[in-house]
Amino acid sequence: MKKLLLLFCFLLSLNKTYSQSTEFTQEINAPVQSAIIYLYGAEVSHTKQVSLNPGRNKIIFTGLSPKLNAKSIQVSASGAVSILAISDAINYMANQKESTRIKQLKDSVTLLTDAITQHNNDAEAYNIEKGLLLKNQDIGGDKGVSTVELKLAADLFRSKIKEINAELFKLNKKTSVLNESLIKISQQLSELNAKNDQPTAEISILVTTASKTNSTIDLRYVVTDAGWSPNYDLHTEDINQPIELKYRAKVFNNTGVDWNDIKIKLSTSDPSKSAAKPQIKPWDLNTVTNYKKKKYDDGAYGYSEQNKPLSQSMDGYTQSNSAQNSYDLKAKQKEQAGKPKIEVVEIEISELSAEFDIKTNYTIPSDFKPYIVDVTEYKLPATYQHYSAPKLERDAFLLARITGWEDLDLVEGPANIYYSGTYVGQSYIYTKSTDDTLDLSLGRDNKVMVARTKIKDFNTKKIVGTTTKETFAYEIAIKNNRKTPVQIEVEDQLPISTQSDIIVDAIEISKAESDPKTGKLTWKYNLQPGEVKKITLSYSIKYPKNSKINIQKTQSHMNVRFL
């Protein structure tokens, strides 16, 4: 009896030792539940409740994005659970699960390819038969054939060749139709970003617990090939109404994993920033000379860097200027061949990062396409004024000057302008401006009339000795057809002489503000309803009579030429 008791105790201790050394493994496929989306990159999170056995347990999260940053992996577990180790790996054998739609399209591709191959085989057989007939059309040998035999042979050749040609024609038409369908389905598959050999990542988490328990595992990590770019809508109904700013974002996901109905947050911070403590560097104040305010051809105001055009094509997405997050753009361009166009540009943002909690859940498929996300809305006070350069455009442009915008955590980007419910064009919000007002063009205002006409009686050309003198005179008329007063700024110019033998004299500029360096003339008026204001502009140019100078300023336009 004593021996049996000792044997039982030995087996019990052996079983306890075995259970402690045994490692229980379970694979988990947990979808993305939430994401913090940065200007370039995103931090995604997965949450899963698991049942753990006493001792060591290995939990493997499968089906993850292969573009994860291993250094950014963070894991937490609820309850009396200790995390022993974390590792990651790429699984090249386990492909992403394909949707039913993609499977159907791939099946259609297979059926169409088989049908096209069969048609090509049939056509090849008919062509071989036709070739044999043509090679053996020489009948009768040296003796020849009778007229009756010749007629029978000709009828046979004709009918057979016609039959073969008819079959080839039918096959070619069917093949053409099948090829068109195959191209469309292939394009649709490409549109759905179907990938046959897309690998997935796996993260293995080794934990231990003293007893059987349920624990909630939270997994977070940073991925590349995702991000957001700002996109604004500016609405106003009339010149006495505030501006309604709708802050929106274009979000894209190309991580290899779809984000289905997830909670998202947009952030302007940089996920690749170092964890080392920051160091304050000298702050040098100087005049900003590499940026200048400019007015675009559509009347919008913005800023552009000299010798470096400001990119207004925001189909693409921004990338933070960080050495750790630098991307091989050439490699990216190769990878993105055939995909929606994305332009990676550098932008300026505030030193203090901003975050925007999005109230509604969104689905962002991994298809490299931009999806619009509503961020927030603001109502901003604005003052309005008109602008006209009648020498260039026979219209007055309505400008809105927005105040209070600098505290809204705006990121520079394009803005769609709507006036009285009508889309009038696109402007650009450039947040590096130190002005407390943001100038935007709301498009042409046909209720403010501007006309610039030549005064013929005062336009003359005289030659005195060796000198030619030309005189130019114009009348600019502005009329306010609105029922409310308007402020308007009108601009014109005088030519600037760059040679000592060319002399420009201003005869009449109607009390304009004049800039002698640029020749720009500016008039500012406050017009009452129905009021008309007239401006007289005249000047003369003296130059050697044998010289040819560009008296008239020209514009470049595209034009067809018939050969």
Q: Quick check: helix, strand or coil at residue 397?
A: strand
Instruction: Give the model's pLDDT for residue 95.
Output: 59
pLDDT band at 328 (very low <50, low <70, confident <90, very high): very low
pLDDT band at 125 (very low <50, low <70, confident <90, very high): confident
Q: What is the mean pLDDT of residues 384-406?
A: 87
Q: What is the mean pLDDT of residues 1-29?
A: 61
Q: What is the mean pLDDT of residues 11-24?
A: 55
Q: What's at 108, amino acid-wise?
A: S
Give 286 or 519, the one with higher predicted confidence: 519
Q: Which of 235, 163, 162 is nearest to 418 (CA)?
A: 235
Q: How far apart are CA 180 and CA 115, in angstroms?
A: 13
Instruction: Give the model's pLDDT for residue 362.
Output: 94
pLDDT band at 50 (very low <50, low <70, confident <90, very high): very high
Instruction: Give the model's pLDDT for residue 291.
Output: 40
Is the pLDDT assigned to residue 320 strictly greater than 60?
no
Tokens of 192: 């759905």
Q: How far apart are CA 201 and CA 87, in angstroms?
A: 11
| Mean of the per-residue pLDDT values of the chain | 79
Q: What's at 182, amino acid-wise?
A: L
Q: Are 189 and 7 in contact (CB under 8 A)?
A: no
Q: Quick check: helix, strand or coil at residue 116?
A: helix
Query: Tell me, what DSSP letter sits at residue 510?
Result: T
Instruction: Give the model's pLDDT for residue 249.
Output: 93
Is the pLDDT assigned to residue 332 strictly greater than 60?
no
Phi and psi angles of residue 2, each rounded to the nearest 5 degrees, phi first:
-65, -40
Is the pLDDT assigned to residue 11 strictly greater than 60?
no
DSSP-assigned states of every residue in 518-543: T-EEEEEEEEPTT-EEEEEEEEEEEE
pLDDT band at 97 (very low <50, low <70, confident <90, very high): low
Cβ-Cβ contacts under 8 Å for 107 (sequence gap 6 or more):
none
Is the pLDDT assigned to residue 277 strictly greater than 90?
no
**pLDDT above 90 as % of the chain:** 36
The DSSP H or E segment spanning 295 is strand 291-295
**Per-residue b or e along 160-177, where b marks 16 or more CB atoms closer than 10 Å to that residue's CB:** eeeebeebeeebeebbee
> What tens digit of pLDDT does each residue of 191-239 get?
665 555 578 899 999 999 999 999 999 999 999 999 999 999 989 888 8
> What tens digit of pLDDT does each residue of 284-300 get?
665 444 444 444 343 33
Q: How far apart are CA 427 and CA 243, in angstroms?
A: 14
Other Cβ atoms within 10 Å of 325 Cβ, number: 19
Greatest mean pLDDT range, 370-384, 521-535, 543-557: 521-535
Other Cβ atoms within 10 Å of 257 Cβ, number: 24
Q: How far apart are CA 217 and CA 220, in angstroms?
A: 10
Instruction: Give the model's pLDDT for residue 411.
Output: 85
What's the CA dihedral at 329, 334, 336, 341 to 10 degrees? 70
Instruction: Give the model's pLDDT for residue 280.
Output: 76
Instruction: Give the model's pLDDT for residue 459.
Output: 85
Q: CATH classification of 448-544 is 1.10.3470, yes or no?
A: no
Q: Are 180 and 32 in contact (CB under 8 A)?
A: no
Instruction: Give the model's pLDDT for residue 308.
Output: 32
Is the pLDDT assigned to residue 142 strictly greater than 70?
no
Beta bridge partners of 302: 294
Tokens of 105: 């399209």
Q: What is the mean pLDDT of residues 440-458?
A: 88
Q: What is the mean pLDDT of residues 350-369?
A: 83
Is the pLDDT assigned to residue 139 strictly greater than 80?
no
Q: Name residue, tokens 């700024």.
A: 489
Q: How far apart are CA 365 and CA 254, in angstroms?
A: 8
Instruction: Give the model's pLDDT for residue 466.
Output: 87
Q: Name residue, tokens 């403010």.
A: 448
Greatest mean pLDDT range, 77-91, 157-171, 185-199, 315-329: 77-91
Query: Tell me, what DSSP letter sits at residue 98?
Result: P
Instruction: Give the model's pLDDT for residue 83.
Output: 93
pLDDT band at 156 (very low <50, low <70, confident <90, very high): confident
Tokens of 9: 């105790």
> What tens digit of pLDDT does each residue of 67-96 get?
999 999 999 999 999 999 999 998 887 655
Q: How far apart are CA 35 and CA 259, in angstroms?
A: 9
pLDDT band at 6 (very low <50, low <70, confident <90, very high): low
Considering only 236-245, 267-276, 311-320, 457-466, which range has the smallest mean pLDDT? 311-320
Q: What residue segments make up the domains of the chain, in order of their start? A: 20-95+199-223, 100-191, 226-272+288-445, 448-544
Q: What share of the chain is helix, strand, coil (3-state, %, to 5)?
A: 20, 40, 40
**Per-residue b or e along 398-419, where b marks 16 or more CB atoms closer than 10 Å to that residue's CB:** bbbbbeebeeebbbbbbbbbbb
Q: How far apart are CA 440 and CA 405, in angstroms?
A: 12
pLDDT band at 98 (very low <50, low <70, confident <90, very high): low
